[in-house]
Structure 1
Amino acid sequence: MDLRDLRYLLAVAEEGTLARAAVRLRVSASPLSRQIRLIEARLGLPVFARQGRRLTLTEAGARLLDRAREVLAAADQLAEHVRTELGEPPTRLAVGCVDAAVHTGLLATGLRAAEHTYPGLRTTVTLGHSPELIDRLRAGELDVALVHTPPPAADPNLVRTLVLQDPVALVIPAGHPAAHAPRPAALDGQAWITDQRAPAGIERFRAAARDAGFTPDIRYQAADLAVRVNLAAAGLGIAMLPARAVPALVPPALPVTVAPVPWLPLRIQVYTVTTRRPPRVVPAFTAGLTALPSPALPKTSRPGTTQAPSDLTRTPDDDG
């Protein structure tokens, strides 16, 4: 096997079909299919189980691909080292991020800064949950990660920097009883939509709600912020967003009320996490990502939008 074989296997595993993998690799699907079968024959084990056009990893294939990612990451790092020795600019950047980093503009800000410093970068962006992104950063598959829950400050191998601390805003269905007065009494027992991948964040929300005087009925859990907004617009419950993400995710025509709740002391935090000796391109990416001030929510004419009084304080916490 050579590095090209490993990249073929990885592309098929991540894309799920030969057609999508072929587009990613810029090859034809038929030769790619033959190459995958040839690799499996040389290995003597089935890497993929075939279900129609869908290819899924076998248990042995999953173990193989875990090691293949490590090998490819090491090869990329070696190539970057050679470019550094030759005085050439970096050519690649691998970023992992939670979806809040996308919708709040952090990802785009970092990419623009990196592209400005090193024109022509080839960049890959991986969406995921904080623990898996940090694992991929440790394995060398990512150059930088934007996460909610960072590693411990005393971690000997990784460096974390807080770049966003945003208050939450409620997205309330139009006509909902709480739309005109999003206070604790109106929110008690109402249906809520939260992040399914953040059990610690859900528990912090329950605790903050209890302190504020209401009990949420968490009926729906969805990993993606945009999905949670759409469920709220369908009248299924109340969702929470980082305030900075409201302009990107809540268009004016959406049948919801957006309400700041300064009396609910929850904060959405995003950290950059890098290795202690990151690739040269990483400082360019992180240069513009200082601790950003939280913006005021945009004025809106939607019925029921209110400014709730600030009557509670609490130390900001991670989203999970």
Structure 2
Amino acid sequence: MEMRQLEYFVAVAEEANFTRAAERVHISQSGVSAQIRQLEQELGARLFDRSARAATLTDAGRAALVHARSVLAGADAVRQAVAEVTGLLRGRLALGMVTGCTITPLFEALASFHRACPGIEVSLLEGASDALVDQVRSGALDFALVGLAGGLPEGLDGRVLVAEPLVAAVPPGHPLAAEAEVTLRQLCGHPLVCMPPGTGVRAVLDASCSAQGLRPLVTLQASAPPAVLDLAARGLGAAVLSQSMTAPFADRLVTLPVTDADTAALLALVWSPTAGPALRELLRHCDAAFAPSHA
């Protein structure tokens, strides 16, 4: 029994098709079929029912699949462990970042990680925080920078970078501009400009309003905080963001604390508890980049 036979077996089982499995492992279909037949002969049992269009597992195949995956995972862990010790890390990391969020220390961490581990291919995509969290959970992403409401997602490890209350930002001529602070009920009496559902700030606003039986009138949405603030500055509504997000428009908008929005808006890094060596190395670079001396 060879490792490649187990790899081909798992590929056919997951694709339910010999042709797609062959494309996945980059050999010919006849090569995959020959290796599977050889594996079946060695095991003394048919692993696939080939009578239908799809390649479906037999009872023996289903029993073998769990162990084949375990063997392949173990072999990969051995390779990664050796690579980590020798400093020759190889592989890929898929990272996510909430749309419209520019965090310089993260970019510094990625740059220093690339210099230290040039053999790791890194991809970075933007998206809504809730979707990014789901992708980290599923394994589609290794790591993500996300906005959250109140706490880290269950089942994931993470590091909170920023925890801030909600604020409203209005132009000087707005009816709320003369107030020292506002309540959610006061805010809900006016058109609001906010980030879209799926972002941490919006989750805090919606949850805080729901707890009081309020329905915010969000008339305009934008993924980037500067766009939210610019719309508010033009008189199109009261912006609702976290405190530090309003700083670039301090000369154009009046910032008001929202006194009864008790849940903090968080910006956090999240990752799977089963992080591999490459991700652990990246996290070490993040720790250095986000250390207080670099803030």
Secondary structure of residue in 2 paired with 1:184: coil
What's the offset of the Cα at 1:117? 4.4
Q: Distance in 1 between matches of 2:107 and 2:243?
A: 17
Tell me the equivalent position of 2:230: 230
TM-score, normalization by structure 2: 0.54
Q: RMSD across aligned C-alpha pairs, in angstroms?
A: 4.2
Tell me the equivalent position of 2:181: 183
Gaps of 5+ in 1: 6-73, 294-320
Secondary structure of residue in 2 paired with 1:177: coil
Secondary structure of residue in 2 paired with 1:276: coil
Greater percentage in helix:
2
Is 2:170 aligned against 1:172?
Answer: yes
Q: Is the 8 A contact 2:95 2:143 kept in 1?
A: yes
Q: Structure 1 pair 242/284, CA: closer, same or farther in 2 (3 Å)? A: farther
Secondary structure of residue in 1 paired with 2:177: coil
Offset from partner CA, 1:135-182 (integer Å, 9 cap, x none): 322443322122326432xx3xx4344333122332212421222325
Q: Is the 8 A contact 1:197 1:223 kept in 2?
A: no
Tell me the equivalent position of 2:192: 192
Tell me the equivalent position of 1:127: 126
Aligned residues: 212
Q: Distance in 2 between matches of 1:278 and 1:222?
A: 33
Is 2:272 aligned against 1:270?
Answer: no
TM-score, normalization by structure 1: 0.51
What's the offset of the Cα at 1:188? 5.7
Q: Distance in 2 between matches of 1:256 and 1:127?
A: 28
Q: Distance in 2 between matches of 1:169 and 1:292?
A: 26
Tell me the equivalent position of 2:70: none
Q: Is the 8 A contact 2:167 2:241 kept in 1?
A: yes
Q: Is the 8 A contact 1:163 1:292 kept in 2?
A: no
What's the offset of the Cα at 1:195? 3.0
Is 2:233 aligned against 1:243?
Answer: no
Q: Distance in 1 between matches of 2:275 and 2:233?
A: 42
Q: Structure 1 pair 265/140, CA: closer, same or farther in 2 (3 Å)? A: closer
Secondary structure of residue in 1 paired with 2:140: coil
Residues 38-117 of structure 1: matches in 2 within 5 Å? Answer: 81=80, 83-84=83-84, 87-90=87-90, 92-99=92-99, 102-103=101-102, 105=104, 107-108=106-107, 110-112=109-111, 114-115=113-114, 117=116
Offset from partner CA, 1:70-105 (integer Å, 9 cap, x none): xxxx9xx89x848548641346432112237x2455
Q: Structure 1 pair 258/91, CA: closer, same or farther in 2 (3 Å)? A: farther
Tell me the equivalent position of 2:253: 256
Secondary structure of residue in 2 paired with 1:283: helix
Secondary structure of residue in 2 paired with 1:175: coil
Q: Structure 1 pair 168/284, CA: closer, same or farther in 2 (3 Å)? A: farther
Is 2:206 aligned against 1:203?
Answer: yes
Q: Distance in 2 between matches of 1:237 and 1:264?
A: 19
Secondary structure of residue in 1 paired with 2:267: strand
- Structure with the greater alpha carbon radius of gyration: 2
Is 2:220 aligned against 1:217?
Answer: no
Matched AA of 2:255: V
